[in-house]
Amino acid sequence: MEESWELGRENDKGLFLVTSYKPVYFTAGRWSSNPNTKPTSENPFYRLPFKVNYNKYEAKFQFSFKT
């Protein structure tokens, strides 16, 4: 924890050092023969009264950095 949060002089890495924050991942792709065209939510602001023609292909990624 001391090294991660740079809590001492021996752990000081300098200003504006970019490091990863949360896990970085990327999925190459996914195909679905039956995508959910009408997802629901308990929050009424996130509901749609109509179906959406979603694509059958998807990819997902996350990059998280901190300074």
pTM of the model: 0.36
Across the range 39-58, mean pLDDT stands at: 83
Report d(CA 11, CA 2) in Å as an integer.
7
Going by C-beta distance under 8 Å and a sequence separation of 6 or more, which residues neighbour residue 10? Answer: none
- What is the per-residue pLDDT for 14? 66
Helices (H) and strands (E) in the chain, counts: 0, 4
- What is the per-residue pLDDT for 56? 85
- Which residues share a beta bridge with 61? 26
pLDDT of residue 31 exceeding 80, the answer is yes
Break the chain into its structural domains and give their ranges. Answer: 9-66
